[in-house]
Structure 1
Amino acid sequence: MLLGFWPERSIVMLTLGGRRPFHARIDLPPIDEQSPAVRRLLDTRLLVPARRHGAVRVVLLYFTDEPAAAAAVHRALRRSCARRGLGIVTALLADGTHYRQLEHPDPTVRRRRHPYDISAHPFVRDALASGRLVHPTRDAMVDSLAQRPAAAAAVTAALVDGRHADHGIPTTGRAIRDAGRWALATVTDLAENAILPTDADLARLLWVMQAPRVRDAAWSHLTSATASAHLRIWSDAVRRAPDPLLPAPAALLAWAAWQSGDGALAWAALDRCRRTDPTYRLAAYLALLLENAVSPDQWSADFDWSAGLPPATQLPPSAAPAEEPP
């Protein structure tokens, strides 16, 4: 319920006692891939942020049908927890139908399998009804962001019809300001009216957002209050975007997901972005925040995307409407 999907092949950590309790999920590596470097990475991604945020105890949950892999990882994480002064409240191994306790001092109890069925649990029903539990697995969540070829073809056709390539990407200060004002107005309208862009508008938006300052104009509207609207806008955009124009909407989707408290979706969107452009800077910034478990409320959208740009284009005198005689 915390993740928005049923975890599989996953380690989920819940923190307790910190200034800002949080949860985190990471892939559970198969046992033949559990090198010392991989174990150090798990420590860095899970326990280091926990201590940084003042956690004193953690709950470790392993979702897998490979008990040997979970047991090996847990031994490594237990040692790391002891070294970092983190207590383990409990550690459970769940395979979808049964769970086992990994921290009980009695080995007989550790081997005992307990059946469970959470499908009818009130918390699960509530999560389904509220839309917080949307996908059956993480793979299904990732697939939900895949490009829809017919929709992308329609946007590509709109790019051609609009002759955007002929006009080029905004590069001059005035062109960036004009495009940014349009992008911000468009995104604001989409968010406030709960609508999605037409092919023509999305084509133009994707094209001009290749200029980072124009993308920042759209980004400046993204706050915790507008995050759900931006989730809808950019989820749709990444499904319809031609591959070369994907990085900006994917990065904005990731940012909206983070602001909504959905770290798993944020990572999935970042992965889509970086498959097209591994060095995309906004994606790198957000990855750093996610890796360090920075709370969304630590970021403010209160920035001026147009700072330092020249004034907007004005109509030349010859194009101004003539005054009526008195």
Structure 2
Amino acid sequence: MDDSPIPVIRLGDTGEVAAALPLLLGFHPAESVVLVSLRGTGGSRVGLTVRADLPPPAAARSLAHTLAAKVATDEPEAVLLAVVSDAPDVMAPDAAGLAVLPGVGPFPPAPELPHRDLVHEVVLALDARDVPVREALLVRSGRWWDYDCPYPCCEPGAGTPLPGGASPLAAAAVAGGAVLAPGRDALVARITPSGDGPGAAAMAAACVSAGREHAARLRSLGPAAVAAEAGAAIAAAVADCRPGPATAATRLADARVARVLWGLTLIEVRDRALALALGEDAAAAEVLWTECTRRAPVPLDGPPATLLAVSAWLRGDGAMANVALDRALAADPGATLPRLLADGLAACLPPSALRALIGRTLEQDAAG
């Protein structure tokens, strides 16, 4: 994406890109098909990266067309296709079950790389959009193969070791603040409540108490005054989440988190909080939304999860944005904003377009 946490940089060798797939995605993919957009003159720069679980054979063609449509939104010069799988090599006999060499006779078929049928479907889907596949790779057990390579290095039993060391892609990821998760489940775990222990019970009690206070103040002061109070509480909480020595050991009290959560139930407060993702406190706001989502009981987790999705999306972390939107929609399946955001993310709306959309929305709210 244009505002990816891994800046668009010059493409190194194929092995470097294969090794960088976890950094491009934000987590280590498993049993996945990944398309990497190659942009710039001659397709020399890494752009948008899209991923999906490996499909059953009957769904391969449909998935191929879906992925091709998504990566095409980046207007790539070419695409690098990678299958990440621990599947073993497969046998590919002819219709009679044995390969036949003229003048020699039948002999046992040779093994070939797995998931070749899926690769074929993806290549066809991209070709229908006039997008060439630069290379089609299998990444497995610390090695990579090129599906089209005729040389011994790409025979099923061989493969090339993934390069080690600090590549330019890895350096760019660290500079951009990317945090690599061991898998998508680890991203989910970052915002999953701790369970039914004393901490969860205390947080639930704080939310009940804050909810009663919130309702009473709405009755006595009115929505506008309560919204102003909520905005001030959120600003103070964001300040305490700014990175630095003064806040390194700070954990927001349950009562403060509860007040933020109830404040975000007011649509105008939640919408104004979107502006935090555009300013200098974007990182601190993302810390706050992460903490609120992780500690909130259902359905109070919906608004902070939505804001977390926006924050992650704007810094190019589509994986975390998807996880957060799943959480927001689980809290309230009918919620309009997370549903619109999910549709935009599925359509690969770039972060720059989302940033502009939020800016226009805030300007209209201020004018109105």
- C-alpha spacing 1:271/1:260, structure 2 compared with 1 (3 Å): same
Q: 1:81 aligns with which of 126, 147, 167?
A: 126
Distance 1:224 1:294 in 2: 20
| 1:118 CA displacement | 4.7
Taking a change above 3 Å as real, the CA distance of residues 205 and 102 of structure 1, as seen in their structure-2 partners, is: same
TM-score by length of 2: 0.71
Counterpart code for 2:24? L
| More moved, 111-120 vs 207-216 | 111-120
> Which ranges of structure 1 fall in alignment gaps of 5 or more residues?
310-326
Corresponding residue number in structure 2 for 1:184: 231
* Letter of the 1:252 counterpart: L
Contact kept in structure 2, 1:227 and 1:259, CA below 8 Å = no
Letter of the 1:161 counterpart: S
**What secondary structure, in the 3-state scheme, does the structure 2 residue paired with 1:12 have?**
strand
Match of 1:281?
A: 336
The 8 Å contact of residues 253 and 269 in structure 1, kept in 2 or not, is answered as: yes
- The answer for the alignment partner of 1:35 in structure 2 is 58
Change (3 A) 1:170 1:16: farther
Partner residue, 2:69: 48
Question: Which of residues 160, 167, 176 in structure 1 aligns to 2:208?
Answer: 160
CA contact (8 A) 2:207 2:255 kept: yes
Cross-structure match for 2:6: none
Distance change in 2, residues 1:109/1:3 (3 Å): closer
Q: What's the C-alpha RMSD, in Å, of the aligned pairs?
A: 3.2
AA at the equivalent of 1:132: A
| AA in 2 matched with 1:59 | L
Q: 2:189 aligns with which of 132, 143, 148?
A: 143
TM value normalised by structure 1: 0.79
| 8 Å Cα contact 2:230-2:260 kept in structure 1 | yes
Could you tell me how far 1:295 is from its partner in structure 2? 1.6
**2:135 corresponds to:** 90
How far off is 1:121 after superposition? Answer: 4.0
Q: Provide the secondary structure at the position in 2 that maps to 1:261.
A: coil
1:60 counterpart residue number: 81
Deviations 1:279-323 (A, max 9, x none): 2222112112212222212223330586598xxxxxxxxxxxxxx
Does residue 263 of structure 2 align to residue 208 of structure 1?
yes
SS at match of 2:81: strand
Deviations 1:45-77 (A, max 9, x none): x22133333223101111111267632321110
SS, match of residue 89 in structure 1: strand
What residue identity is the alignment partner of 1:34?
P
After superposition, residues 90-109 of structure 1 pair within 5 angstroms as: 90-104=135-149, 109=154
Aligned-pair distance for 1:263? 0.6
**Residues 286 and 308, structure 2, Cα contact 8 Å, conserved in 1:** yes
The alpha carbon displacement at 1:206 in A equals 1.1
1:11 aligned partner? 33
Q: Distance in 2 between matches of 1:21 and 1:129?
A: 16
Contact 1:15 1:59 in 2 (8 A): yes
Evaluate the alpha carbon distance shift between residue 57 and residue 224 of structure 1 in structure 2; reply closer, same or farther with a 3 A threshold: farther
Matches of 1:170 and 1:292, distance apart in 2? 41
Aligned length: 303
In the alignment, the residues of structure 2 paired with residue 250 and residue 141 of structure 1 have an alpha-carbon distance, to the nearest angstrom, of: 13
Which AA in structure 2 matches 1:74? V
Q: Distance in 1 between matches of 2:141 and 2:127?
A: 29
Aligned-residue sequence identity (percent) comes to 28
1:265-276 pair list within 5 angstroms: 265-276=320-331
In structure 2, C-alpha distance between the alignment counterparts of 1:110 and 1:235, rounded to whole Å: 45
Give the match for residue 11 of structure 2: none
Q: Which amino acid aligns with 2:28?
A: W
CA contact (8 A) 2:309 2:322 kept: yes
Change (3 A) 1:70 1:256: farther
Q: Residues 289-308 of structure 1 correspond to what in structure 2 (within 5 A)?
A: 289-298=344-353, 299-300=355-356, 301-302=358-359, 303=362
Q: Structure 2 regions of 5+ residues with no counterpart? A: 1-22, 91-113
